[in-house]
Structure 1
Amino acid sequence: MDPCPFVRILVGNLALRFPLSTKPSLSRIHPSTSPCYCKIKLKNFPHQVGSIPLIHANTQNPESCNFSLQKSLAACFSLSKSQVDRIILKGDSSYKLSMEVYADPDGSTCGLASGKLLGKVTVPLDLRGAESRPSVARNGWIDIGRNKSNKNGSSAQMFLTVRTEPDPRFVFQFGGEPECSPQVFQVQGSVKQAVFTCKFGFRSSSDRNLGSRTSLPESNTSRNWLPSLKTDKDQSAKERKG
C-alpha cells in the first residue's frame, strides 16, 4: 500500500533589519540590542514562536552572513490530505500564513507575553499540487511596519523563507487485544491492511498443565545445586589446610 500524502509548511531563515538611525527608535527599543521574536500563525493550528536575529541594515542576503541562517527552521506545520483538500475547495486566497513580529526591550518575555509589536506579515499559500512537488511561497525581504521616527520613512524589514513540500508517511494503527492477539494495520484513508498479526495462548488446557509441571523440576534442580556447591567448598578448604 502506498504511503499517505501529507504536506509540510516550513518557515525559516528569519532575519530582521532596521533602517539606519542615530536615535533610539520605537519608544525605548534600540534596533541593535533588542531581542526580537515572532508568533507564526496558521488557521486551525496552535501558534508557534520563533526568534529573529538582527543583522546590519545594509545586508541584502542574510544567508551570506555569519548567522548560520541557511538551515534555520522557525516553524513547521503538517497537513493531511483531507485538510489540504478542504483548503483548496475553499479557495487559495482564504488560506494564509500570518506572522506578528515583536521586540522585547527587557529580554524577559521570550514569546510568553506580549512585547512591543513591530508589525505583521501575511504570506498567501497555494497548496495546489503541494502533495507531489515542493514550492516556495516566499523567499526575500518584506516590510513589517512604518518607522515614523526615521525621516526618510523607511520601514523595518524581515527576511523569511516559506515553502511547502510533500511529506508522505506510512500510517499504522493498533488493533485487537494487545495482551493476547496484537495486530498492526496500515491505514490509508478508509482502507486498512493488516501488516502484522500475532496470537498468544495455549492450544488446550493440557498444554497449560504441562507448562506448570515442567517448571517444577527446574526449580527443584536449582535448589539441589546448593548442597553440591557447599560440599565442593568444604572439600577445597580441607585441601588447602592439608
Structure 2
Amino acid sequence: MDPCPFVRIVVGNLALKFPEASSRLSSASYYCKFKLRGVASQISDVSHLAAEGDAVESRIHVCLALSKPEIEKLAAKSSDFSTLKIEIRRRGGRESGGCGSLRSGKLVGCVLVQLDLKNILENSGTNRTSVIQNGWVSIGDSGLKLHMNVRAEPDPRFVFGFDGEPECSPQVFQVNGSLKQPVFSCKFGFRTSGERALRSRSSATDTSTSLANCFRSAGAEEDEERPLKERKGWSITIHDLSGSPVAAASMLTPFVPSENSDCVSKSNPGAWLILRPGYGTWKPWGRLEAWRERNRGIGGDRLGYRFDLIPDGGIDTVSLASSTINAKSGGKFSVDITTGFTPMSSTSSSFDLGSASGSGSSSDLGSASWVHLLYRGFVMSSTVRGDGKSGKPEVVVGAQHVTCSEDAAAFVALAAALDLSVDACRPFSRKLRKEL
C-alpha cells in the first residue's frame, strides 16, 4: 500500500531589519510565534541584521505538518483557516533611554501569509515544492521588516494503527484513508515476580477472549488487580505476516518508585531497549526512558520521556526527543529533527541543512551531526493515551526512511513501549490490572 500524502509548511531564513533610528529596539531579543488554525502553535527565535550588508542565515525554523484530510477540511472553510499568522514578539532587554524594562513576549508586529490550500492539495501527490513567500515583508508603518522563506513540500508518510492496546497482543494495520491492511502482529510478554518466567499472550489466540480481557468493566479490573513494588520484565515483539519477529521492545531498567514517593521519578527513570533483528540475534536500535512528574496544580501530572537513537547498535547514543505529555489526557509523542536536535524540548532549536550544525553544545554537534544528516527530514509521531484510559496507538512515519518492514516495525515497537510506559509510570498506590 502506498504512503499517505502529507504536506509540510516550511518556514525558514527568518531575519529582522530595523529602521536606522530604532537602535534601542535592536538591542533586545526577538522570537516569532506561528499560528495556523487546527495546528499546534510553534515558536522560533529570530535574529536581526546589524548592518545593511549582512547576509540572512539560511536555516529552517519551523515545519507545520498537515495530512490530506486536514488540508481538505481547512480549504473548505473561510480564508481565516488558510492564513498562517506570524507574530513577532520581543523578550528581555532594556530600553537605552532608561524608560523601564521591555516586557517579555510583547507583540511588536504581525505578518499574515495566505496559503493556497487548493494548489497545495493538488501538489501533495507530486514531488513539486510550492514557494509561498520569499523575501522581505514590511510590518505596518514602523519601518520594521521581516525576511522569510515559506514553502509547501510534499512529505508522504506511512500510517499504522493498532487494533487494540499493546498489552492485548493486537494486530497492526497500515492505514491509507478508508483502506486498512494488516501488516504486523504483536506479542506481549511479562515476567511475574514469583515465577520470573516469560509469559506471552499471542494475537493468534482467540480474538474475542483477548478483547474481552482487555476491555472488561472497571469493577472486574479492581477484583483482579494486584499491588507491585516494581514493574519489570515487560516486553513486546512485533511479527510480520509470516510470523517472523521484525522488532521488539523490552524493559531494560525496572520502573520503581523513588524514595518517599509512589512514582517513578526523572532522577531514576525506567527504560526500554528497542531492538531490531540482525545476524541471528537482536541488535539495539533505540532507548526510551520514561517517568512521571507530579504536579498538584493546574494541568496535573506529566508523563516525561526521552528517546535516544543507538547508531549501528553501538554504545554511544544520540538524543532525538525529550518532553512531557499530560498524564491524564494523553497527547502525542513526536520526533522531528528537521528543525533541531531535540525539537520537543527546545522550541527555538534549528538545524542547518547546509553545514549540519544546530543548536546544542559543541560536543553534541561533534558526536551527532552525521546521524542527523543521515536522518535529515525524518519525522515520526505516535498518539499516547491518558492514564486509566483505553487507547489504540496510531503511528506516523516519514516514508523516506522506511525501506523495509523492519524499518516500520521498529517505530511500531517504540510506540508500543511508550503506550505501556503510561501504565509502568502509574503511581504505585494504584494497582494494575491482571494483564500487566
Q: TM-score, normalised by structure 1?
A: 0.64
CA contact (8 A) 2:166 2:186 kept: no
3-state DSSP of counterpart to 2:39: coil
| Aligned-pair Cα RMSD in Å | 2.8
2:85 and 2:177 map into 1 onto residues whose CA distance is 30
2:90 and 2:168 map into 1 onto residues whose CA distance is 57
User: Residue 89 of structure 2 corresponds to which residue in structure 1?
Assistant: 102
1:34-73 residue pairs with structure 2 within 5 A? 34-59=28-53, 62-63=55-56, 69-71=57-59, 73=60
Cα 1:183–1:202 change in 2 (3 A) is closer
Paired amino acid for 2:73: R
User: Residue 126 of structure 1 corresponds to which residue in structure 2?
Assistant: 116
Deviation at 1:92, TM superposition (A): 6.0
User: Residue 197 of structure 1 corresponds to which residue in structure 2?
Assistant: 185
User: Residue 433 of structure 2 corresponds to which residue in structure 1?
Assistant: none
Please tell me whether residue 116 in structure 1 is matched to residue 106 in structure 2: yes
Out of 119, 136, 145, the residue aligned to residue 141 of structure 1 is 136
Cα 1:201–1:90 change in 2 (3 A) is closer
Please tell me whether residue 175 in structure 1 is matched to residue 169 in structure 2: no
User: Residue 2 of structure 2 corresponds to which residue in structure 1?
Assistant: 2
Paired amino acid for 1:166: P
CA contact (8 A) 1:19 1:57 kept: no
CA contact (8 A) 2:75 2:81 kept: no
Q: Which moved more, 1:184-193 or 1:89-98?
A: 89-98
Cα 1:53–1:182 change in 2 (3 A) is same
Gaps of 5+ in 2: 95-102, 188-201, 206-436
Deviation at 1:137, TM superposition (A): 0.5
Please tell me whether residue 12 in structure 1 is matched to residue 12 in structure 2: yes
Deviation at 1:31, TM superposition (A): 3.3
Please tell me whether residue 185 in structure 1 is matched to residue 170 in structure 2: no
3-state DSSP of counterpart to 2:75: helix
1:41 and 1:168 map into 2 onto residues whose CA distance is 23
Deviation at 1:18, TM superposition (A): 0.7
Task: Provide Cα deviations, 1:108-165, integer angstroms capped at 9, x if missing partner.
Answer: xxxxx85332211011111222412211110100011323xxxxxxx01010111111
Percent identity reads: 46
Paired amino acid for 1:158: L
Paired amino acid for 1:142: V
Out of 50, 64, 73, the residue aligned to residue 77 of structure 1 is 64
Gaps of 5+ in 1: 64-68, 108-112, 148-154, 204-242
CA contact (8 A) 1:3 1:169 kept: yes
Out of 70, 76, 85, the residue aligned to residue 89 of structure 1 is 76
CA contact (8 A) 1:62 1:159 kept: no
Aligned residues between the structures: 178
Paired amino acid for 1:138: Q
Cα 1:74–1:144 change in 2 (3 A) is same
Which stretches of structure 1, 4 residues or longer, exceed 6 Å deviation after superposition?
none
CA contact (8 A) 1:41 1:98 kept: yes
Cα 1:43–1:198 change in 2 (3 A) is closer
Paired amino acid for 1:18: F
2:90 and 2:204 map into 1 onto residues whose CA distance is 67
Q: TM-score, normalised by structure 2?
A: 0.37
Task: Provide Cα deviations, 1:73-100, integer angstroms capped at 9, x if missing partner.
Answer: 2222111111111233336675111111
Paired amino acid for 1:117: L
Cα 1:83–1:202 change in 2 (3 A) is closer
2:10 and 2:203 map into 1 onto residues whose CA distance is 48
